[in-house]
A and B are shown apart, each in its own frame.
Chain A
Amino acid sequence: EPEVTQTPSHQVTQMGQEVILRCVPISNHLYFYWYRQILGQKVEFLVSFYNNEISEKSEIFDDQFSVERPDGSNFTLKIRSTKLEDSAMYFCASTLSGGFAYEQYFGPGTRLTVT
């Protein structure tokens, strides 16, 4: 069964460093998302991406965040200058089409630890 994959599974970085989290969505899906979950808190929406541009973003997704689809398979989230409060699980998700009307499939997540 097709699945969303994410790498790395765990990333440790120092405050102020740049990190890139990678995702490979399900191959025929068209909409891509990033969410995060701070330990003990709710899963929160960060950004949605369609047709090579951001379609929506939350208040969390400020100028230190960026997303990119560098090729036909990968979808990346970049954090330019990490802060301690960026430590969280980051989940990538994708849907077939139609935006929010379709089931979202999530990857296993990347645990980001900022020290």
Chain B
Amino acid sequence: KQEVTQIPAALSVPEGENLVLNCSFTDSAIYNLQWFRQDPGKGLTSLLLIQSSQREQTSGRLNASLDKSSGRSTLYIAASQPGDSATYLCANTGRRALTFGSGTRLQVQP
């Protein structure tokens, strides 16, 4: 059974810092890995999708990497802003639909 773990569970940083969120998964037979943002009480906004044949994807200040052999993905956020405060979820598709991690709750202090 696919398990997805995210570390840390919560993170508080001052504005302007670069930061890394971690995601690990147990089944290396994934199709893709998707990072989402969730604001309190809201839906899921897709940030980046990395297909299993890719190693990284970039969108603006966000960069996501994928290392299937070690079962890890990271989301790098450059020059963090207070508007980045949210919960960040990673999810992968193995032999079923998306399996989600429990998320990292990020607070960027102005």
Contact = CB atoms under 8 A, between A and B. Distances in A.
Contacts of B36: 106
A18 interface: no
Interface centre among A33, A101, A107 (most CB of B within 10 A): A101
Given A35-B98, A43-B100, A100 B32 contact: yes
Contacts of B46: 103-106
A108 B42 contact: yes
How many residues of A sit at the interface, in one of the four size bands? 20 to 34
Given A100-B93, A101-B32, A106 B99 contact: no
Q: Which of A33, A45, A48 has the most CB of B within 10 A?
A: A45
Contacts of A107: 43
B28 interface: no
Contact of B102 (A42, A93, A104): A42
B43 A104 contact: no
Determine the main DSSP class of B at the interface with A: strand
Contact of B100 (A42, A56, A100, A111): A42
B51 interface: yes
Given A43-B89, A108-B42, A108-B43, A103 B34 contact: yes
A44 B97 CA distance: 9
Nearest to A110: B43
Interface in B72-110: 89, 91, 93, 96-103
Contacts of B96: 45, 56, 58, 100
A109 B42 contact: yes
A109 B43 contact: yes
20 contacts: A33-B97, A33-B98, A35-B98, A41-B102, A42-B100, A42-B102, A43-B91, A44-B100, A45-B97, A45-B99, A56-B96, A91-B44, A100-B31, A101-B93, A103-B46, A105-B46, A106-B44, A106-B46, A109-B42, A109-B43
Interface of A: 33, 35, 41-45, 48, 56, 58, 91, 93, 100-101, 103-109, 111
Minimum-distance CB pairs A-B, first 6? A100-B93, A108-B43, A106-B44, A45-B97, A43-B100, A103-B49
